[in-house]
Amino acid sequence: MTTHPEACLIGSNREADERVSAATEVVFSALARCALPAELNLCGHCYSPEQLERFACTPLRELSNEDARVLLWETGDHWPDANTLKHFLPRALKELARTNGVGDLYPGHLFEVLAHHHFGAWPHNERAVISAWFDALEERFDAGETLDPEWTAARQKAGIYAGPEAGEVL
């Protein structure tokens, strides 16, 4: 049976849930230096003025689940730069983990966004913690199921690989 990460049931494996939560905290720590620019230039067609105000003024951890969800929809070319993406990425990943995916995203979306922003050129520690986060999310699957080939192909194309080197945190 082939399944998408978003098809997992939350809470089906407490240890796996704890690993995802811990990996999410590591991503928050690793990307904490990525502050918002003085003027946030997210797409004015994609977001309402109220949303843009919340994104600019609300502490990252306090963004609502809905705000984090709509940030996950953003395409690579709508993020003004990699630093802005990195700023919001921990909260978006936390939402992805909370919901075990967003049903209206196809499996490769977030990987394509990361690839668009040259994930492979990011500092090693950032790549490592994000790779480890995806490893932890994938471990939520039941052992008898396999990942959708589209998910795996998109992850490889973006250079977000599993394995000991990817999971090493500096």
Distance CA 97, CA 5 (A): 9
Phi and psi (nearest 5°) for 147?
Answer: -75, 150
The pLDDT, as a whole number, for residue 122 is 92
Listed in sequence order, the residues at least 6 apart from 164 whose beta carbon sits closer than 8 Å to its beta carbon are none
Helix H segments across the chain?
14-30, 49-57, 65-73, 82-99, 109-116, 124-138, 149-158, 164-167
* This prediction's pTM: 0.82
The Cβ of residue 168 has, within 10 Å, a number of other Cβ atoms equal to 14
The pLDDT, as a whole number, for residue 1 is 37
Taking a C-beta distance cutoff of 8 angstroms, is the pair 51, 70 a contact? yes
Instruction: Look up tokens 């986060």; give the residue.
Output: 133
The pLDDT, as a whole number, for residue 14 is 79
Number of domains in the chain: 1
- Mean pLDDT per segment of 10 residues, for the chain of length 170 residues? 41 76 96 90 87 93 92 88 95 84 70 91 93 85 58 80 47
The pLDDT, as a whole number, for residue 59 is 94
**Residue 81 structural domain:** 2-167
Listed in sequence order, the residues at least 6 apart from 18 whose beta carbon sits closer than 8 Å to its beta carbon are none
